[in-house]
Chains A and B, each alone.
Chain A
Amino acid sequence: MNLKLDNLCKSYAGHRALDAVELTLTAARALVIIGPSGGGKSTLLRVLAGLEHPDAGTVEINGERVVFEEAALLRHRRTIGTVFQAYNLFPHLTALENITLPLEKVHGHAPAEAAEIARLLLARFRLEDRAGLRPAQLSGGQRQRVAIARAVSIKPRLLLFDEPTSALDPEMTAEVLDMIGELREEGRDFILVTHEMGFARRVADQAALLAGGQVVECGPAPQLFDHPATPQAADFLAKVLKY
């Protein structure tokens, strides 16, 4: 993926969540965004997902500028797979139906075809025996995996993960991260916001540190993690890697 963010700004009631974010990436496969809470990571991801209108600035994905008005955003969202922290799934639908809903109603697949795609995906991620269960009957990790399967099912040009494991206990975190690792090996492009530093370092080829609504540092992941160039990045990494 090529990503170009220029002067991206977003404020909520006077608080500047994004304060002129600048970022240029070419041919990145997996971008990890790290940084302190309240630094603007989630807001940035929501802007990229087309769920938030920036106050100023531009977003270009693969050379294509995102137009922030409703009709264009709807088309944009349909090419992006977004997975939030929690509550991605619709509680009144089964795991299978959660995946087939966008396939049928948004992407125009016939019901049988959509069910087939969903079954194959669930089988691939060892969830086939969960197909008929509702979210309340699934574990937190299974719920997130079904949500990721749904995001993948539409063959998005880009996957966005917003702290997909931060509501899970360690065991479930591992199963979700394994799944994201598999997607990485498949060569799917994604942007991941996470606090799992070990995983971030292993899976990412590019990393960005976001703090105070600005990109403090951005570069190849090994470099940012092992030899941070800015004192802020060094400070942050020292703190989160201390324990």
Chain B
Amino acid sequence: MRWSQFFIASGNPGAPPPPLAVRALNCLLVWVILALVFFFCFRQIAYQWHWKSVAPNWEMFVNGWLCTILISAAALVLSTVFGLLLALARRSRVLALNYFGRVYVEIVRGTPLLVQIMVLFYVVAPALRVPDRYRVAEGVAILSLFSGAYIAEIIRAGIEGVARSQLESAQAIGLTRAQIYRYVIFPQALRQTLPPLAGQFASLIKDSSLLYIIGTPEFTNRVQSVNAMTFTPFECYIPLAAGYLVLTLPISLWTRRLERRHQFDT
């Protein structure tokens, strides 16, 4: 028995994973180190915890959290549809559509979301005379426009990942262009796009936090309101972080599983 056995995994490919006890020990070690770092930092700044003044506001936390879920889910659906249209535009032979797709994707991916939110909220929404009470819908729209650009690239990669020989076979049996997409390209592209699409959803959830700046009543915005009343930033922000992690962590694990399954298939 050597000490290294408790801390270092075997370098041989195909070796069995380390025993459960060893994995648990190392996992615990990481958590202890993290906890110590935080404990040390908070002690150094002599932070006074006031959980009691935050607790009565739990309803605002819950409402904000639910609003974030609602906005993210709605934006996911909308941005997938929008991303699909953008991806098709980028493959279109209609030049204006093609260039629009390209310019749109590059601009949205190349600029901060914060700026996009400002422009859409303070310029585009008033210009279209969107009433104030549609704050949540505006948030969904802004996020969809933003995330659509990323999803367009994911879908485009998925479509282009379908082998050329598949297109030839589909053409040879006499399918029309639309049928080739419907019956041959999309079903195959879907498998490849699912893992990155799930990852994009996790990003979308976190990105929705920036909507606090235009007063959308989502999680971050609500928690900030609580903090404005109680002046207890960490009692507010630590639950805030946990609230996002509860949503993004399962997606992240699910993504990893999708990726593994895809590996076995090919």
Contacts and interface: CB of A to CB of B under 8 A. Distances in A.
Nearest to B169: A88
B10 interface: no
A92 B172 contact: no
Interface stretch (A56-64, A98-106, A119-127, A233-241): A98-106
B175 A87 contact: no
A155 interface: no
A16 B77 CA distance: 50
A106 B173 CA distance: 8
B94 to A, nearest CB: 15
Q: How large is the interface on B (under 10, 10 to 19, 20 to 34, 35 or more residues)?
A: 10 to 19
Contacts of A47: none
A117 interface: no
Nearest to B170: A90
B183 interface: yes
Given A87-B163, A101-B183, A51 B168 contact: yes
Interface string A76-99: 011010101011111110000000
A221 interface: no
A43 to B, nearest CB: 13
A215 interface: no
B187 interface: yes
A87 B169 CA distance: 8
B188 A102 contact: no
Nearest to B186: A92
Given A90-B166, A91-B188, A92-B187, A106 B172 contact: no
A51 B169 contact: no
Contacts of B179: 105-106
Interface in A102-144: 102, 105-106, 136
A106 B174 contact: yes
Q: Which of B173, B187, B265 has the most CB of A within 10 A?
A: B173
Q: Which of B170, B172, B188 has the most CB of A within 10 A?
A: B172
Given A51-B168, A89-B169, A105 B175 contact: yes
Contacts of A49: 172
Contacts of A145: none
A102 B175 contact: yes
B8 to A, nearest CB: 38
Contacts of B184: 90
B165 A84 contact: yes
A90 B170 CA distance: 8
Interface in B139-183: 163, 165-166, 168-176, 179, 183
A197 interface: no
B169 A77 contact: no
Contacts of B173: 77, 82, 101-102, 106, 150, 154
A76 to B, nearest CB: 9
B188 A92 contact: yes
A86 B169 CA distance: 10
B92 to A, nearest CB: 16
Q: Which of A78, A84, A92 has the most CB of B within 10 A?
A: A92
B166 A77 contact: no
B63 to A, nearest CB: 43
A74 interface: yes
Q: Which of B166, B169, B176, B187 has the most CB of A within 10 A?
A: B169
Interface in B31-51: none
A91 B183 CA distance: 12
A125 B223 CA distance: 69
B170 to A, nearest CB: 8
Contacts of A88: 169
Interface of A: 49, 51, 74, 77-78, 80, 82, 84, 86-92, 101-102, 105-106, 136, 150, 154
Given A84-B169, A92-B187, 11 more contacts: A49-B172, A51-B168, A51-B171, A77-B174, A78-B174, A87-B169, A90-B169, A106-B175, A136-B265, A154-B173, A154-B174
20 contacts: A49-B172, A51-B168, A51-B171, A74-B174, A77-B171, A77-B173, A80-B172, A84-B168, A84-B169, A84-B172, A86-B165, A90-B166, A90-B183, A90-B184, A91-B188, A102-B173, A102-B175, A105-B179, A106-B175, A154-B173
3 nearest interchain CB pairs? A78-B174, A87-B165, A102-B173
